[in-house]
A and B are shown apart, each in its own frame.
Chain A
Amino acid sequence: MSSDVARGVYSSSKKSSKTDSKRNLHNSSDPVLSTTVTLQAIDKYAERNHSAKSLEGAKYKDRPNTSKNNKKYKDKKAEAQLRRHDEKRVAAAVMAAEAEILDTEVGGFIETENEMERTHKLKQTELSSHVDEQTSDQIYDLSLTSYSPYNVTYDRPGRHLLLTGRTGHVAIMDALTRTLQRELFLTDNGKELNDIRSSTFLHNSSMFALAEKKHIFIYDSVTGAEVHRLGDHIDPLAIDYLPYHWLLASVGRAGFLKYTDTSTGDKVSEHRTKLGPCSVMRHNPYNAVMHLGHGNGVVTMWSPSVSQPLVKILAHRGPVVSLANDLGGNYMVTAGSDMQVKVWDVRTFKVVHSYFSRRAVCDLDISQTGVLAVGSGTDVTFWKDAIREKQKEPYMKHRVLNGGVQVKGVRFRPFEDVVGIGHSKGFSSIVVPGVGSSNYDSFENNMFADKKQRQEQEVRSLMDKLRPEMIQLNPEEIGGVERDKKNVMMEKREIAASADQKPKKEKKKARGRNKISKKLARKHANIMDEGKKKLMEKKRSEAESKGRGDDFMSPAEKKRKKGLEEGGALSRFFK
């Protein structure tokens, strides 16, 4: 897709110099530059479902009229409406691009001063001396050994951190201030060890769900009280939450993918994957399709309204260990126990490129800026631009606690240059510059929301709750016209037309008359060809010689013969 390339060009120009892009936007004296900026703005901000064709009609002031086929519509009114709509869309995209100069923050980065310097040689200890105190405070380790290994989950604004120890320790922390908000020990008074497989926050950080040994449980983050037990979800291995649909999804040992609406408590759907136990599940944030990685190396994509997988990809020769989706929804990265890490284009379902890992990969994550984190063994490596093109060396590397631990989970903290690593000896937080999105939207993900804002956000998101049927591979199709291809339309029309007609009634025929051989014989009975004539002649002459020539006479001949034989007055008429 060309739009992605253009997007890349746009963001890189923005990074290099802000003033340049500003000049481009406002200086219409240079038509080429301003046009490219406009096009990039359209690519980035205009609705994606509009094809380039519809853009041809748009006459924006900076845009030279490049349209080749100036299609004249029959309906002038509709044409004018379309044109006006396009103009508005382009103008809105340009305005959104122009508003980028109002962005207050610039993203983090590491710049090398000479070619000998390598960013992946940079250690956290060195890094902490380069950054301000608040950032260096984010580099810390928590030693938690009794309930390890630990899983890490951040909420959507990246303010709260949920740490779940496998055997029953749960901690909710304010990730910004590094204070413990609530701590839970779900071990039945220490008598029995729990088995927490997976965890997720719900629509905001006030509640979270845990996949425990038997069921999913929902807890309140403030009081730590158990709010709900989802009895339908039996033996879950992985859970995930779709915030815009308010759906909690789980998949377990039986291989059933189950969706529950957390606003009503109803079970929305239950799909049988038929692929055995599954513990790898992440949703694509672009279209809310659930991606499942299975034990036979297959990745399946699911929507709650379709009982079959939307897509099935044979991704690895061996179990899929982990998968991650990028924010734009175009790429998926999978890791298998065949030591491969593969980058997939989700639009074509093809491998873009693949990496070989020396050690078994245990977890993957993709940051908001597209940095890939790979946790394997004791290390976590970070790969910049690894999705777009194949990289030779990592951007950064981190060996947790100088080795001796097994990494369990890696998660980027949204809107910050921080990465949380859960491992067999607790939790580590490190700083990786340039992984977080530099600007947050207060109306979407407000990490500094006060009580009132949080309440309002909750009500609004409930009002905008999307229906489960809206989950499909291309979310831009919603509210549009479903258009079949021409031949499909024709077929449908024919079927509809034939449905109106009465079916032809079969003729009643005697038994055995319908054999092919008999049918053919009947058909050919009265056909006279050379062979048949000869046969007839032969039979006739034979019969005549035997004195049975009458059998082969025509009725007229018979009559004549009879007349001649009978004689009398009329015999003169028979010659």
Chain B
Amino acid sequence: MKIKALSRSVEGNTRSNSGDIKKLSRNLDPKHKPLERAREYTRAVTSAKLERMFAKPFVAALEGHVDSVACSAASRGHLCPFVTGGVDGEIRVWDLASRRTVWNNKTSHTGAVNGVCISNDGKSFFSCSTDKTIKQWGLGVKMAGGRKEKRKRKEKGVLDSDSDSDGDSDSDSEVKKSSTSSDSSKNPAPLNSWLFSDTFKSMDHHWNEEQFATASDEAVQVWSHHRSNPIQTYEPFNGTDSCNVVRWNPSERSLLAHTSSDRGIGLHDTRASSSLRKTVLRMRSNCLEWNPMEPMNFVVGNEDHNCYSFDMRKLSQPTMVHKGHVGAVLSIGWSSTGREFVTGSYDRTIRIFNYRSGTSRDSYYAKRMQRVFCVNYTADAKFIVSGSDDTNLRIWKARSNEKLGQQLVREERATNYRNTLVKKFEHMPEVRNIVKSRNMPKFVKKQTAMAQIQHASAKRKEGNIIKHSKKGSVAWKGERAKAIVKEYK
């Protein structure tokens, strides 16, 4: 007879000295892990609670501007430079890592700075204003801060931006001088300036070429770095009104999109002489941004509190209506992943939307934050920078519960596990209620409730009209189709 019996010794199953790692045994048989699903669900609820407990999105408020921050621009190629323009004509360059102004000019423009953009080489930036001028400024700025910041910058792989370019060494040196003392009485001079007959509302730099586009009261202009007059001018379809925003397409070199005050969104091809097409919404669009990863898609922020995602090939209907704000949407910033965008609104909040979701993933507000005029993601998609009416720039975490800094491997694994669990049970009422709950300001809460009532009542009315009309004479109109008034081709 052959006999074998289990025999476990203490020595064989425990470590021999305290320096060794603990001996572990695994048995993945589900029989030994009863009530697995209930335990997972319990963990998911705990994880959802932890997520809300650790949700502290606010990182810092940057002071400096003395009037509202009107516009901002982050570099497309580099992590560091961040430029803001104020309503009083002041321009500031920020080092977000050290949270300091590294360059400023209080008298850049005599009117409000309505648009700033950074050139592709990262050596200069442009600003346009209501004073009918465009100015180019050198960006040969050493990011201030101690040794720590420098090391940080090196780790992040930021290009050293203090190498002078050939032509404009004089002005660059002047910029540097001013950077050493940020409150110097002598303001730096622009590298170039353009004078025009019209006030400017917005500007954007070309993604590849040495060109930039501006939106002015009457038309959209395309400018070259090296020419004093616009190389092209476009008037929109039925163009009687002024243009608000202009944005270059990230991949199509000759494609421009703009919004105009006559509630329209238009597309231009710079190879052609007239505009391509235009669609008119119910209310005016205040901002427009292209999706950086799916460049056929763009989002507009509208005066009617909604954002609309469009596919540029089909302007007859938006692909998605993003709801949630209770004030006009004033600016949009895309995450570099192309999966999320952030919106700043007149209702003093910023919201983060998934590009395929109709409702916001998260919403931030601060007690002292006023109307938000500009929002941007940082290039690493980890932070959001917002500029508002209260003259401050604010840095927020893109994921409110994320831990800043480097995580231990185990910590990261545990976080991933928790996130996966929450995702698995996100449709369960208990988990959903925890994950979605937000304490919003009283004003926003009231307005949201009111908007819901209004929406329900409008829907009921529409239903009643259909019910009491001749069969087939009135049809339901979808939420997306309602947004479009007219399309020109």
Partner-B contacts on A (CB < 8 A): 44-45, 47-49, 96, 99-100, 102-113, 117, 119, 122, 127, 130-132, 134-135, 176-177, 244, 285-288, 327-329, 368, 415-417, 431, 433-434, 436-445, 447-448, 450, 453, 463-467, 470, 475-476, 478-479
Contacts and interface: CB of A to CB of B under 8 A. Distances in A.
B28 A110 contact: no
B35 A244 contact: yes
B408 interface: no
A218 to B, nearest CB: 24
Interface in B305-341: none
Interface of B: 1-10, 13-14, 22-44, 46, 424-425, 428
Which of B9, B22, B37, B425 counts the most A-chain CB atoms under 10 A from its CB?
B37
18 contacts: A44-B29, A48-B30, A96-B28, A105-B8, A109-B4, A177-B10, A287-B34, A415-B6, A416-B6, A436-B6, A437-B32, A440-B27, A441-B33, A450-B22, A463-B46, A465-B42, A466-B35, A478-B38
Given A112-B1, A127-B3, A285 B34 contact: yes
Nearest to A92: B28
B1 A328 contact: no
A244 to B, nearest CB: 5
Contacts of A49: 37
B30 A45 contact: yes
B42 A467 contact: yes
A48 B42 CA distance: 18
B3 A110 contact: yes
A444 B22 CA distance: 15
Q: Which 7 A-B pairs have the closest CB atoms?
A: A111-B2, A439-B27, A108-B5, A130-B3, A479-B41, A442-B24, A417-B5
B5 A433 contact: yes
A130 B7 CA distance: 13
A465 B41 CA distance: 11
Given A327-B32, A448-B13, A466-B39, 15 more contacts: A45-B29, A99-B26, A107-B6, A108-B4, A135-B6, A244-B34, A244-B38, A328-B31, A433-B3, A453-B22, A466-B38, A470-B42, A478-B41, A479-B38, A479-B40
A553 B140 CA distance: 123
A30 to B, nearest CB: 25
A8 to B, nearest CB: 13
B32 A445 contact: yes
Given A134-B9, A479-B40, A448 B26 contact: no
Which of B32, B33, B40, B46 counts the most A-chain CB atoms under 10 A from its CB?
B32
A413 B214 CA distance: 81
B6 A111 contact: no
B2 A110 contact: yes
A438 B7 CA distance: 10
Contacts of B3: 108-111, 122, 127, 130-131, 433
A287 B6 contact: no
Contacts of B23: 442, 448
Contacts of B46: 463-464
Contacts of A107: 6
A329 B33 CA distance: 12
A437 B27 contact: yes
A442 B37 CA distance: 20
Given A109-B4, A417-B5, A464-B43, A440 B25 contact: yes
A464 B42 contact: yes
B21 to A, nearest CB: 12
A132 B7 contact: yes
A328 to B, nearest CB: 5
Nearest to B41: A479
B1 A130 contact: yes
Nearest to A460: B43
B42 A131 contact: no
B9 A439 contact: no
Given A131-B5, A436-B6, A47 B27 contact: no
A441 B25 contact: yes
A479 to B, nearest CB: 4
Nearest to A122: B1
Contacts of A467: 42
Contacts of B24: 442-443
Contacts of A177: 10
Contacts of B34: 244, 285-288, 329, 475
B31 A475 contact: no
Contacts of A416: 6, 8
A464 B39 contact: yes
Given A466-B39, A479-B41, A105 B6 contact: yes
A261 to B, nearest CB: 15
Nearest to B24: A442
Which of B8, B23, B24, B39 counts the most A-chain CB atoms under 10 A from its CB?
B8
A462 to B, nearest CB: 11
B352 to A, nearest CB: 21
A244 B37 CA distance: 12
Given A108-B4, A433-B3, A433-B4, A287 B25 contact: no
Given A110-B1, A111-B2, A441 B22 contact: no
A470 B25 contact: no
Contact of B35 (A117, A288, A437): A288
Contacts of B25: 104, 439-442
Contact of B7 (A135, A329, A443): A135
Contacts of B40: 479
Contacts of B29: 44-45, 437, 439
Contacts of B425: 479
Contacts of B27: 103, 437, 439-441, 444
Contacts of B35: 244, 286-288, 466, 470, 475
A113 B1 CA distance: 6
A126 B29 CA distance: 33
A441 B41 contact: no
Given A135-B7, A464-B43, A111 B37 contact: no
Contacts of B6: 105, 107-108, 135, 415-417, 433, 436, 438
A426 to B, nearest CB: 23
Contacts of A132: 7
B1 A117 contact: yes
Contact of B38 (A106, A327, A442, A475): A475
